[in-house]
């Protein structure tokens, strides 16, 4: 008897159509090369060496095709792309990505080819290499799945092989690279005759998937356990809970393989073994057998792809924009003709000068300015202007450092030929000069700050615009730096003259100062009568000096920025473009752009390849508009599935009672996966609950987190996390058939009633 068709497991006929559509889209995305840029959903088979991984895979496929032997057999990851063929009479065939175009109908030849391709890359001495073999298998016996068969975790290297003493570290690292991706479903294979609390596969799955939303356990070698023992507690999740539960399978023994037992016969014997066993016949059917495992995998993968495909579409668009932006920065390939090269250079210089001007004018935000929250170059320059002489405003007094005695002494020193009671201008200058001498340094610091910013801005823009010609950047910056220095030196001379004029010649036409000179000391005449003439004179002199100094500060706070802005910032913009064009006309730079750096050429080629991948991926997604409906409208999909299932079976599937309490937004994506967990597999029930779907729904309404698996700390050994859930209280089902306590969201979703 042949293995039942994967499509036969889908009672409503919808799993085949909907899942096949999504799987084919993901596989096409892999074919166009998207996997090397964006992770795609897949299933990774994880387990220790000789745990039965290959037998599980062959049972799922329904064909004997994987190499066998002692020690490490899987030495390169095998990416199995299973494609279900609707025609039951069609002959199965396989194809290798490394041998594109050649179809293999003899699966003994497929096995030999796997060995040849493995030895070709990993060598003949049992070396292990992380370079997958991609195999497509088309058959009516296999489901639409993509699985990665990973080399088993190995502790001891084979004698005489290329395996190093760190083989355990190497195999774990390789497995980690695949299963750490949150879009990868982990199929953890655990032999029943080993202590599952020490399983490397379960430990790694728990660390990487603490919520348990992407890990399915497979219990193998059930038939070779010690006499008097059984794997029921393991299968039911009572040893180590798993949110998605476990499935127990019975694979072919080594003797069966030696006797060339067909996989289809082994699957029939598996059914007979579980149905006739006094212990396993009481286990829910969805927890036993390869058919149940295949069904669970397809449904979990469907939900996984459905949830992640919108995000993948978004990542494709983002990646495409990034690539296109970088290609614009690199520019087109280097022209071959001299005239075209000259035109290219002119265009780049024009772009550089335009960006330089626009950045200063606030019409272009440079990368450097983005680090300062989008402040443009012009605003940053004005920030330097606003800071200048800031300490001399808001109540600053130029004579604060002078006592009345100091001022009286200065008056006596400069009496000379002046009349008593009349101040000498020399006293005014003598006391004001030290303050005016402090004005030069802030002006020069402001000039230098603006110069340094312009220099750094030019450096950044040059590296961006001329990035494809590294040899040209230095020459461009040399011309720019020379121009900036010339304009800075001119501005410096003008600033020095400005400050010197304030120090060396005292004069003002300021209206307020002139109008207030007769009563510059506040107060009424009666109060002044009680003060000595010397005291009044000192007060008036102090106030006149402060008033004049404030007037000078007001002048230089305007004139210094204007001088820098006009003679450095504005002048250099025109001068830079003029000097660069002059150098180009002299052909002094032409030789610098004759060759493009090999790294730039390689980067452009790589970017063009990735852009082509993104374009092809976009076409794949746009080709079928129904994909958007499949991945976006859960309610509509479930309704369609229920209606079609009703038509096919003549009756509607049972309603999903657990949906009476609508899940939270954060929980909804994973609700289907959660509810498919086996009875007792990682669900802790509070007292008074009967474990029914309705009871679970009621508890989740009060506390949505009650349905989650209570995960142990990452560092705790698995043995310390064993859970002993209550035995189900449900009455025995009719016809003495085993009954599951877990609600069948997946069954309802796909129209099979959870059967």
Rounded Cα–Cα distance for residues 276 and 283 (Å): 12
Q: How far apart are CA 170 and CA 179, in angstroms?
A: 15
CA-to-CA distance for 752 and 10, rounded, in angstroms?
A: 7
Handedness of CA 216, 217, 223, 228 (dihedral sign): negative
One domain, residues 109 and 213: yes
- Helix/strand number for the chain, H first, E second: 27, 8
**Per-residue b or e along 54-74, where b marks 16 or more CB atoms closer than 10 Å to that residue's CB:** bbbbbbbbbbbbbbeeebbbb
Q: Which residue has the higher pLDDT, 204 or 523?
A: 204
pLDDT of 678 > 60? The answer is no
Identify whether the C-beta of residue 383 lies closer than 8 Å to the C-beta of residue 449: no
For residue 172, being part of any structural domain is answered with yes
Instruction: Sort 89 into a burial class: Cβ within 10 Å, 0-12 / 13-18 / 19+.
Output: exposed
Give the mean model confidence (pLDDT) for residues 399-405. 83
Specify which residues 148 forms β-bridges with.
44, 79
Average pLDDT over residues 399-416: 81
Whether the per-residue pLDDT at 178 is higher than 60: the answer is yes
Which residue, 190, 182, 170, is CA-closest to 46?
A: 190
Per-residue pLDDT tens for 319-355? Answer: 999 999 999 888 888 777 667 778 888 888 999 999 9
- Unique residue bearing structure tokens 């009666």: 526
Model confidence band, residue 676 (pLDDT cutoffs 50, 70, 90): very low
Q: Which of 344-358, 470-484, 499-513, 739-753 has the lowest mean pLDDT?
A: 739-753
Mean pLDDT, all residues of the chain? 76
pLDDT at position 610 is: 94
Residue found under tokens 């996984």: 304
Q: How confident is the model at residue 126 (pLDDT cuts 50, 70, 90)?
A: low
Q: Is the dihedral of CA 398, 401, 404, 407 positive or negative?
A: negative
Residue pair 598/324 in contact by the 8 Å Cβ criterion = no
The pair of structure tokens assigned to 149 is 């068969």
pTM for the structure as a whole: 0.56
306 and 342 share one domain:
no
pLDDT of residue 516: 67
In a domain, 24, yes or no: yes
Q: Which of 273-282, 337-346, 401-410, 722-731 has the highest mean pLDDT?
A: 273-282
Here the CATH number for the domain that contains residue 414 is 1.20.120.1240
* Whether the predicted pLDDT of 445 surpasses 50: yes
Average confidence (pLDDT) over 145-150:
88
State the Rg of the chain over Cα.
Answer: 41
CATH code at position 309: 3.40.50.300
Weakest mean pLDDT among 280-284, 344-348, 588-592, 748-752: 748-752
For residue 490, pLDDT over 90 is answered with: yes
Band (pLDDT 50/70/90 cuts) for residue 302 is confident
pLDDT of residue 540: 84
Name the band, by pLDDT with cuts 50, 70 and 90, for residue 623: confident
Mean pLDDT of 559-573: 95
Q: Is 229 exposed, middle or buried (0-12, 13-18, 19+ CB in 10 A)?
A: exposed
Give the H/E segment covering residue 632: helix 626-632
Instruction: Say which residue, 495 or 257, is predicted with more confidence.
Output: 495
**267 neighbors 3 (Cβ within 8 angstroms):** yes
C-alpha–C-alpha distance, residues 122 and 37, integer Å = 25
Q: How confident is the model at residue 590 (pLDDT cuts 50, 70, 90)?
A: low
- Looking at residue 159, the DSSP 8-state letter turns out to be T
| Rounded Cα distance, 695 and 159, in Å | 57
Burial label for 290, CB within 10 Å (0-12, 13-18, 19+), is buried
446 in the same domain as 297: no
Query: What is the band of 495 on the pLDDT scale with cuts at 50, 70, 90?
Result: very high
How does pLDDT run across 508-555, given as a tens digit for each residue? Answer: 888 777 776 545 445 555 555 545 667 777 888 888 888 899 999 999
For the segment 10-18, the average pLDDT, to the nearest whole number, is 54
Say yes or no: 421 and 570 in one domain.
yes
Total domains in the chain come to: 2
Task: Please give the Cα distance from 383 to 390 (Å, whole number).
Answer: 12
pLDDT given for residue 186 in this prediction:
93
Structure tokens at 188: 């953890």
| Per-residue confidence band for 166, with pLDDT thresholds at 50, 70 and 90 | low
Q: Nearest 5°: phi and psi at 68?
A: -125, 160
Answer yes or no: is 717 within a domain: no
Residues 6+ apart with CB under 8 A from 205: 46, 179, 186, 188, 215
User: Residue 224 has what pLDDT?
Assistant: 86
38: in domain: yes
50 domain-assigned: yes
- The reply to whether 342 and 219 lie within a common domain is no
Show the tokens assigned to 533.
């003439």
Task: Tell me if 731 is assigned to some domain.
Answer: no
Percent of the chain residues topping a pLDDT of 90: 28
Does one domain contain both 350 and 254? no
Based on the fold, state whether residues 311 and 343 are members of the same structural domain: no
Question: Each residue of 151-163: pLDDT tens digit?
Answer: 888 766 665 555 6
**Mean pLDDT in residue range 456-469:** 89
pLDDT at 185: 93
CB 149 within 8 A of CB 57: yes
Spatial separation of the C-alpha atoms in residues 59 and 250, rounded to whole Å: 9
| Final residue in a domain of this structure, among 572, 595, 618 | 595
User: Over the stretch 102-112, which tens digit does the pLDDT of each residue have?
Assistant: 999 999 999 99
Residue 162, domain member (yes or no):
yes
Contacts for 38 with CB less than 8 Å, ≥ 6 apart: 312, 315, 316, 319
Alpha-carbon distance of 258 to 237, in angstroms, equals 33
List, in order, residues 6 or more apart from 668 with CB less than 8 Å away. 634
Same domain, 281 and 367: no
In terms of domains, do 247 and 206 share one? yes
DSSP bridge pairs for 47: 189
Instruction: Name the band, by pLDDT with cuts 50, 70 and 90, for residue 686.
Output: very low
* Cα gap 552→352, rounded to integer Å: 40
pLDDT tens, residue by residue, 624-646: 766 655 544 444 434 443 443 34
- Residue 507 domain boundaries: 335-595
Per-residue model confidence (pLDDT) at position 398: 78
Q: Both 269 and 373 in a single domain?
A: no
Higher-confidence position of 1 and 419: 419
Residues 243 and 359 occupy one common structural domain: no
Residues 308 and 424 occupy one common structural domain: no
Residue that finishes a domain, picked among 283, 316, 349: 316
Asked whether residue 459 carries a pLDDT value surpassing 70, the answer given is yes
Q: Compute the average pLDDT of residues 305-331.
A: 90
> Residue 323 is inside which H or E element, if any?
helix 290-330
Query: Where a domain ends, among 595, 611, 630?
Result: 595
Is residue 373 assigned to a domain? yes
Q: What is the pLDDT of residues 263-298, one digit of tens each?
A: 889 899 999 999 999 999 999 999 999 999 998 998
Mean pLDDT confidence for 405-429 = 76
Length of the chain: 755
| Whether the Cβ atoms of residue 278 and residue 247 lie closer than 8 Å to each other | no
């Amino acid at each position: 008897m042949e293995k039942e068709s994967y499509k036969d497991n889908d009672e409503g006929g919808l799993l085949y159509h909907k899942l096949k559509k999504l799987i084919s889209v993901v596989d096409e995305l892999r074919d166009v090369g998207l996997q090397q840029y964006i992770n795609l959903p897949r299933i990774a088979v994880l387990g220790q060496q000789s745990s039965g991984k290959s037998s599980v895979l062959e049972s799922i496929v329904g064909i004997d095709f994987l190499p066998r032997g002692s020690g490490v057999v899987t030495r390169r990851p095998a990416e199995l792309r299973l494609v279900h063929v609707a025609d039951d009479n069609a002959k199965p065939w396989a194809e290798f990505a490394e041998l594109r175009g050649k179809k293999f109908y003899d699966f003994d030849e497929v096995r030999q080819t796997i060995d040849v391709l493995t030895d070709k890359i990993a060598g003949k001495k049992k070396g292990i290499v992380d370079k997958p073999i991609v195999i497509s298998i088309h058959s009516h016996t296999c489901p639409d799945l993509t699985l990665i068969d990973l080399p088993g975790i190995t502790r001891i290297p084979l004698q005489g092989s290329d395996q190093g003493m760190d083989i355990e570290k190497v195999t774990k690292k390789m497995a980690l690279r695949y299963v750490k991706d949150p879009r990868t479903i982990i199929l953890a294979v655990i032999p029943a005759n080993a202590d599952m609390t020490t399983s490397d596969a379960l430990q790694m799955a728990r660390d990487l998937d603490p919520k348990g939303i992407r890990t399915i356990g497979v219990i193998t070698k059930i038939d070779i356990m010690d006499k008097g023992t059984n794997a029921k507690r393991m299968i039911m999740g009572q040893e180590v809970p798993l949110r998605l539960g476990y499935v127990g399978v019975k694979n072919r023994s080594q003797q069966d393989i030696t006797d060339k037992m067909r996989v289809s016969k082994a699957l029939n014997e598996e059914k007979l073994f579980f149905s006739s066993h006094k212990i396993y016949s009481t286990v829910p059917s969805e927890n036993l057998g390869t058919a149940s495992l295949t069904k669970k995998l397809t449904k979990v993968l469907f939900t996984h792809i459905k949830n992640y495909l919108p995000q993948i579409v978004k990542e494709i668009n983002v990646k495409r924009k990034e690539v296109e932006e970088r290609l614009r920065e690199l520019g087109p390939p280097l022209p071959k003709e001299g005239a075209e090269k000259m035109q290219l250079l002119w265009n780049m210089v024009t772009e550089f000068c335009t960006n330089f001007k626009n950045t200063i004018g606030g019409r272009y935000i440079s990368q450097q300015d983005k680090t300062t929250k989008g402040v443009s170059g012009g605003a940053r320059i004005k920030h330097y202007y606003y800071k200048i002489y800031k300490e001399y405003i808001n109540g600053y007094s130029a004579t604060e450092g002078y006592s009345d005695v100091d001022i009286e002494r200065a008056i006596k020193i400069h009496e000379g030929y002046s009349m008593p009671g009349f101040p000498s201008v020399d006293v005014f200058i003598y006391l004001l000069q030290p303050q005016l001498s402090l004005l030069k340094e802030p002006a020069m610091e402001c000039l230098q700050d603006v110069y340094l910013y312009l220099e750094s801005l030019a450096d950044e823009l040059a590296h961006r615009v001329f990035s494809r010609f590294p040899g040209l950047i230095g020459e461009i910056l040399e011309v720019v730096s020379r121009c900036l220095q010339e304009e800075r030196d001119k501005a410096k001379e003008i600033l020095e003259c400005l400050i010197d004029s304030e120090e060396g010649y005292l004069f003002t036409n300021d209206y307020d100062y002139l109008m207030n000179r007769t009563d510059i000391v506040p107060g009424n005449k009666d109060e002044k009568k009680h003060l000595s003439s010397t005291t009044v004179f000192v007060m008036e002199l102090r106030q006149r000096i402060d008033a004049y100094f404030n007037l000078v500060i007001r002048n230089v706070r305007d004139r210094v920025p204007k001088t820098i802005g006009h003679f450095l910032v504005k002048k250099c913009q025109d001068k830079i473009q003029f000097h660069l064009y002059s150098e180009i006309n002299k052909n002094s730079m032409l030789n610098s752009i004759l060759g493009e750096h090999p790294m730039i050429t390689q980067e452009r080629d790589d970017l063009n390849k990735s852009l082509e991948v993104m374009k092809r991926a976009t076409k794949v997604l746009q080709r079928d508009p129904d994909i958007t409906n499949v991945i976006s409208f859960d309610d509509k999909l479930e309704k369609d599935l229920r209606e079609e299932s009703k038509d096919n079976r003549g009756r509607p599937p049972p309603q999903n009672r657990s949906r009476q309490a609508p899940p939270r937004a954060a929980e909804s994506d994973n609700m289907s996966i959660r509810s498919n967990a086996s009875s007792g597999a990682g669900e802790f029930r509070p007292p008074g609950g009967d474990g029914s779907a309705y009871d679970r729904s009621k508890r989740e309404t009060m506390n949505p987190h009650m349905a989650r698996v209570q995960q142990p700390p990452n560092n705790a050994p698995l043995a310390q996390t064993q859970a002993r859930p209550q035995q189900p209280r449900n009455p025995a089902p009719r016809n003495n058939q085993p009954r599951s306590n877990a609600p069948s969201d997946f069954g309802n979703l796909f129209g099979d009633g959870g059967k």
